[in-house]
């Protein structure tokens, strides 16, 4: 098979779409994020352009929430990527609850993680917040009998870059570690 070099292109999409929440000046604010990922079983990385309003609250408080978007609130989540918190008060955009560890959680999100910032790796005008997961909250409707998130039921929205399109998870392909005969 012949492959064409398409340049230094980020090719790890689609990825889960999230809305990050943090407190700024005593009020919650929110931003849509597509650059996030797993760093270890205990940590995630959230990457935000340094000019984002929410970054100040994350730096000052060291806490943020990761609210995983699904189709039921995609329209509201999408708006958080088009409105600047420095010009618009986004504190009323969602009904929310303060998490046990001090980060605002979106009530509509079926899955939310409350995180504490362990570090920030600054690169090319981005803050890459390395975050320890302190707590994960999930609606019982998306949990299986073992109390784990059931992705056959919970179908997170996915974001594809550079087309800026949203997708939904597809079907199961197989079982990890059991594919060999």
| Domain-embedded: residue 39 | yes
| Domain-embedded: residue 9 | no
What 3-state class would DSSP assign to 107?
coil
- Predicted pLDDT at 162: 80
| Domain-embedded: residue 32 | yes
The CATH number of residue 120's host domain is 2.30.110.10
The first and second tokens of residue 106, run together, are 């979106």
| Domain-embedded: residue 181 | no
Count of structural domains, the chain: 1
Buried b (16+ CB within 10 A) or exposed e, 97-134: eebeebbbbbebbbbbbbbbbeebeeeeebbbbbbebb
Q: Which domain holds residue 128?
A: 15-168
| Domain-embedded: residue 129 | yes
- Predicted pLDDT at 103: 98
Per-residue pLDDT of the chain (181 residues; tens, 9 = 90+): 799 998 998 888 999 999 999 999 999 999 999 999 999 999 999 999 999 999 999 999 999 999 999 999 999 999 999 999 999 999 999 999 999 999 999 999 999 999 999 999 999 999 999 999 999 999 999 999 999 999 999 999 999 988 999 999 888 889 999 998 7
- Predicted pLDDT at 169: 86
| Domain-embedded: residue 22 | yes
| Domain-embedded: residue 157 | yes
């Amino acid at each position: 098979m012949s492959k064409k070099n398409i340049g230094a292109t980020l090719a790890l999409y689609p990825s889960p779409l999230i809305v990050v929440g943090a407190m700024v000046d005593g009020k919650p604010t929110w931003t849509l994020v597509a650059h996030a990922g797993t760093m270890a079983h205990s940590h995630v990385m959230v990457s935000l352009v340094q000019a984002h309003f929410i970054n100040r609250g994350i730096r000052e408080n060291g806490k943020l929430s990761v609210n995983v978007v699904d189709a039921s609130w995609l329209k509201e989540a999408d708006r958080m990527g088009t409105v600047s918190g420095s010009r618009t008060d986004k504190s009323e955009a969602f009904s929310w609850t303060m998490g046990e560890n001090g980060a605002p959680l979106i009530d509509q999100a079926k899955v939310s993680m409350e995180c504490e910032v362990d570090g920030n790796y600054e690169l090319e005008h981005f803050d890459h917040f390395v975050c320890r997961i302190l707590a994960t909250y999930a609606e019982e409707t998306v949990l299986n009998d073992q109390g784990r998130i059931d992705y056959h039921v919970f179908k997170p929205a996915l974001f594809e870059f550079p087309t800026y399109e949203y997708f939904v998870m597809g079907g199961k392909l197989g079982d990890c570690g059991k594919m060999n005969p």
